């Protein structure tokens, strides 16, 4: 029987867990690393709806992309909060494993999934740190269509609600960059390798910076840019274990309507 720690080790070897951002609590966050696993669930984020789903079909291990606990805590009490959801998982006997920034940069991870979803060709990595230890969380590839076509791809997939486009829709794009989640801090790097950037959480001032650098922006939202990656995570987990996989990727943690 496979254990929590064996699944964590297998997934971490695939994603390069040791190279996750220093602030990112990647790895086993709750539970018993030595516990056996017959069923493993995979979710985008540990929400109240996810907790309810676990009540109906309880796994031994839950793998989440967004960490549940980012900050140290000294209380785990019932109620409605991240700490309360941690309490619920512990009460149910469900261990929790996090893969986040490591999965963003991993081969076949969130960044690759977003680039492939956009139909980019000849995909390359960009956006790593100054040294080889910082993984490249961005991808860039050939697109060869106007910004309006990129708008249509995103609108068809995610709807118009929340989608923001910055730039001339008739402008022809030769190369497009993609960063899942919040990637606007890499606008200067994206402007060096692409004509447009797809990412979430772009602020007004960073959009102005992009315009000054000649970079178009397509922002369908933080969660939307990660959805292709969550589907890829479910597939990856299925490849790494013979345990039954419960796919909770349909439970969307979108906070905006």
The H or E element that residue 129 is part of is none
Query: Higher confidence at residue 22 or residue 50?
Result: 50
Q: Using pLDDT thresholds of 50, 70 and 90, give the confidence band for residue 143.
A: very high
Q: What is the pLDDT of residue 137?
A: 93
Can you state the angle between helices 110-117 and 222-240, rounded to 10 degrees? 120
Alpha carbon dihedral 67, 247, 113, 66, in 10-degree steps, equals -10
Lowest mean pLDDT among 31-40, 109-118, 153-162, 216-225: 153-162
As a whole number, mean pLDDT of residues 208-234 equals 97
Phi and psi at residue 153, to the nearest 5°? -60, -45
Could you give the strand order of the β-sheet that contains 61-64, starting from the edge strand earlier in sequence? Answer: 27-30, 95-98, 61-64, 39-43, 244-247
Q: pLDDT at residue 132 above 80?
A: no
CA distance 192 to 188: 7
Question: Which residues, at least 6 apart from 37, have a Cβ–Cβ distance to it below 8 Å?
Answer: 1, 2, 3, 4, 7, 59, 60, 61, 95, 241, 243
| Percentage of residues in the chain having pLDDT higher than 70 | 98
Query: Higher confidence at residue 115 or residue 130?
Result: 115
Q: How far is CA 233 from CA 60, 144, 167, 184, 240, in A?
A: 18, 29, 32, 23, 11
CA distance 76 to 137: 33
Q: What is the pTM of this model?
A: 0.95
Segment 239-251, tens digit of pLDDT: 999 999 999 999 9
Q: What is the pLDDT of residue 130?
A: 54
Q: Using pLDDT thresholds of 50, 70 and 90, give the confidence band for residue 133.
A: low
Q: Residue 72: is it exposed, middle or buried by C-beta count within 10 angstroms (0-12/13-18/19+)?
A: exposed
In order of start, what are the domains of the chain with their CATH numbers?
A: 4-100+227-247 (3.40.1390.30), 107-219 (3.40.1390.30)
Chain mean pLDDT for the chain: 95
Q: Using pLDDT thresholds of 50, 70 and 90, give the confidence band for residue 88.
A: very high
């Amino acid at each position: 029987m496979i254990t929590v720690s064996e699944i964590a080790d297998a997934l971490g070897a695939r994603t390069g867990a040791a190279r996750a951002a220093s602030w990112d609590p990647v790895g086993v966050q709750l539970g018993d690393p030595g516990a056996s696993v017959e069923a493993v669930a995979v979710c985008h984020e540990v929400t109240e709806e996810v907790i309810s789903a676990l009540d109906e079909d309880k796994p031994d291990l839950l793998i989440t992309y967004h960490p549940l606990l980012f900050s140290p805590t000294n209380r785990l009490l019932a109620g409605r909060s991240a700490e309360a959801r941690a309490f619920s998982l512990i009460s149910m006997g469900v261990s929790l494993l996090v893969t986040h920034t490591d999965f963003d940069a991993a081969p076949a991870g969130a960044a690759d999934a977003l680039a492939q979803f956009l139909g980019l060709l000849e995909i390359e990595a960009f956006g790593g740190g100054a040294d080889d230890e910082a993984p490249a969380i961005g991808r860039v590839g050939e697109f060869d269509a106007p910004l309006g076509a990129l708008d249509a791809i995103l609108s068809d997939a995610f709807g118009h609600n929340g989608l923001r486009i910055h730039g001339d829709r008739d402008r022809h794009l030769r190369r497009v960059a993609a960063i899942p989640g919040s990637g606007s801090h890499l606008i200067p790097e994206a402007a060096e390798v692409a004509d447009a950037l797809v990412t979430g959480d772009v602020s007004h001032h960073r959009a102005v910076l992009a315009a000054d650098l000649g970079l178009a922006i397509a922002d369908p939202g933080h969660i939307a840019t990660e959805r292709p990656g969550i589907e890829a995570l479910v597939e990856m987990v299925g490849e790494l274990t013979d345990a039954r996989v419960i796919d909770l990727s349909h439970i969307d943690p979108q906070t905006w309507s």
